Amino acid sequence: MRISLIIPRWPRNSFWDVITFKFPLLSTSLLAGLTPPRHQVSIIDESISKIDFNQEVDLVAITAITPLAPRGYEIADQFRQRGKKVVIGGIHASWLPEEAKKHSDSVAIGEADETWGEILENVEGGKLKPFYRQKERTDLSRLPVPRRELLPPKGYLFHNLIQTTRGCPYDCEFCSVTAFHGRSYRMRPVSEVEKEIESLERSKAYIFFVDDNIVGNLSHARELFAMLSHYRLRWISQGPIHVAENEELLSLMAKAGCHGLFIGFESLREENLDMMGKKINRVEMYERGIRGLHDAGIGVYGSFIFGYDYDDGSVFDEFLEFADRNRIEGAFLPILTPFPGTRIYQRLKQEGRILTEDWSKYDMATVVFQPKRMTVEELQEGFWKVNRSFYSPTSMLKRVFHPFHLRRSLILFGPMNIGLWPAVKKAERYFNHQNKFKMESSHSL
């Protein structure tokens, strides 16, 4: 069979579309690796390549997060109109399988590593089921090496994405990862991770370990870092701020080649952290933890969510002052977005605060709920202000390009900051233009 694995694009000129630093989706190259060699497989990332809807293909498999689901459905509808079989999977379809089924022949619910082979056999035999769900969670020791050669050769900041664990041991209210995997935390044998590293053909020195928490199990993390230290690597991953309190682990990470850590700080207000269920975070330890990571040569890419119930209009300046003072190298600064399947979605739904279920607006850059201590307009403008200000030349000079405090992480975070400055401005102009156009259209009606 001829199989196309497709990732839908973001809307043109929207916040995430204009950001030049894109990442491949590991699940597509992993599914390609799980596909028997008798089949022909292609991967199409619509953010980089155009889709040929008239291509000769026997099966189209589409994966989409919530804001990309509407575009994914459009793609599915077009292929089905041409008589092609379509399977939809991914986190959004897993939460709303009946919705996804309206646009597809079949829906893969949850992890699909161990149902993919059955799906392919059923397509060949003309007995495709409407829904597939794994009985057990994926055994990570049986994962194949992803087929990275099928990914677009250009357009990605990191080409080498590797997973060493799945899930997160914590249970944050807003988190779709925990909602999807439960509080399970599974570890891949370090020997298998090493085989994958040795198989890399392009820029082996640059790796993004996509684990949601690379230090969720300390003994596994120590074994992993000891192995990585035998290679000349530069890598980034994700972990909690309290990792900085473990000097032994920090030293191992630095020696293993860690140049940056994505950290979910989430809020500078304790009341918000308590409401989120982010019990491992305490604001008082943030600055000390950042210093510890910097002293170890590890850059900090922080995540801060705006719009939680204890946020008011002062939270944006509060963050900007904190970011400049602590010289964090980068930040993910989204609006709180209640994705389907999460506890925050259920809570806001019960409170009557969900304003729309137009999933295309669930892009983490658009307000889709009623905040408690701000108006919708104040939260929306605050989002643009905080992103515009954080990625301004003045802020970048304070945080990243300080002439007397240059860090080794500059090689990764320097280009990222420079690229995001014009991207944020372009996205804001597009957002304002679109909103103005919609307002004028509604008035004309």
3-state secondary structure 200-268: CCCCCCEEEECCCCCCCCHHHHHHHHHHHCCCCCEEEEECCHHHHHCHHHHHHHHHHCEEEEEEEEECC
For residues 145, 146, 149, 155, the Cα torsion angle rounded to the nearest 10 degrees is: -140
pLDDT of residue 404: 56
**Domain stop point among 133, 166, 191:** 133
Contact 258, 236 (CB under 8 A): yes
331, two tokens: 């930040």
Beta-ladder partners of 133: 109
Mean pLDDT, rounded, for 198-208:
81
Instruction: Tell me how many domains the chain contains.
Output: 2
pLDDT of residue 69 exceeding 90:
yes
Same domain, 107 and 203: no
Confidence of residue 204 (pLDDT cuts 50, 70, 90): low
Confidence of residue 436 (pLDDT cuts 50, 70, 90): low
Same domain, 271 and 194: yes
In a domain, residue 152? The reply is no
Q: What is the CATH number of the domain that holds 96?
A: 3.40.50.2300
Interval 306-361: pLDDT, tens: 999 999 999 999 999 999 999 999 999 999 999 999 999 999 999 999 999 999 99
In a domain, residue 29? The reply is yes
Report the alpha-carbon distance of residue 252 to residue 224 in Å, rounded: 10
- Cα angle for residues 425, 427, 433 (degrees, 5° grid): 105
Same domain, 164 and 246: yes
Confidence of residue 443 (pLDDT cuts 50, 70, 90): very low
In a domain, residue 330? The reply is yes
Interval 98-138: pLDDT, tens: 999 999 999 999 999 999 999 999 999 999 999 999 988 99
In a domain, residue 267? The reply is yes
pLDDT of residue 202: 64
Same domain, 178 and 282: yes
Task: Give the containing element (helix H, strand E) for 334.
Answer: none
Strands (E), 90-141: 106-109, 131-133
Confidence of residue 179 (pLDDT cuts 50, 70, 90): low
Please compute, for residue 435, the number of CA atoms within 13 A of its CA located in the half-sphere on the CB side. Answer: 13
pLDDT of residue 203: 65
Same domain, 100 and 208: no
**Helix, strand or coil for residue 19?**
coil
In a domain, residue 144? The reply is no
How distant, in Å, are the alpha carbons of 25, 320, 330, 351 from that of 333? 21, 11, 10, 25
Interval 1-25: pLDDT, tens: 999 999 999 988 788 887 767 888 9
pLDDT of residue 417: 84
In a domain, residue 278? The reply is yes
pLDDT of residue 168: 81
Sequence-ordered list of residues with C-beta below 8 angstroms from that of 110, at least 6 positions apart, any chain: 94, 133, 134, 180
For residue 297, give the DSSP letter. T
Same domain, 57 and 204: no
Same domain, 102 and 166: no
pLDDT of residue 354: 98
287, 283, 309, 306: which is closest to 381 by C-alpha?
306
Residue at 179: amino acid letter = A
Mean pLDDT, rounded, for 243-258:
95
pLDDT of residue 180 exceeding 90:
no
- Worst-scoring range by mean pLDDT, 150-154, 246-250, 366-370? 150-154
Neighbour count for residue 377 (Cβ, 10 Å): 9
pLDDT of residue 171 exceeding 80:
no
Q: What percent of the chain has pLDDT over 70?
A: 94
Report the alpha-carbon distance of residue 376 to residue 231 in Å, rounded: 49
130, two tokens: 């409407």
Q: What is the CATH number of the domain that holds 272?
A: 3.80.30.20
Same domain, 239 and 373: yes
Same domain, 306 and 240: yes
pLDDT of residue 182: 62
In a domain, residue 317? The reply is yes
10, 174, 170, 177: which is closest to 91 by C-alpha?
177
Task: Give the containing element (helix H, strand E) for 26.
Answer: helix 26-34
Same domain, 168 and 283: yes
pLDDT of residue 133: 95
Same domain, 32 and 177: no
Report the alpha-carbon distance of residue 340 to residue 338 in Å, rounded: 6
Task: Give the containing element (helix H, strand E) for 331.
Answer: strand 330-332
In a domain, residue 396? The reply is yes
Interval 370-419: pLDDT, tens: 999 999 999 999 999 999 999 999 999 889 887 656 677 777 888 888 88
Give the β-pairing of 206-209 and 330-332: unpaired
Parent domain of 373: 158-430
pLDDT of residue 296: 93
Report the alpha-carbon distance of residue 141 to residue 297 in Å, rounded: 32
Same domain, 231 and 370: yes
Confidence of residue 421 (pLDDT cuts 50, 70, 90): confident
Please compute, for residue 173, the number of CA atoms within 13 A of its CA located in the half-sphere on the CB side. Answer: 20
Mean pLDDT, the chain, whole residue set: 91
Report the alpha-carbon distance of residue 399 to residue 392 in Å, rounded: 11
Mean pLDDT, rounded, for 265-274:
95
Task: Give the containing element (helix H, strand E) for 167.
Answer: strand 165-167
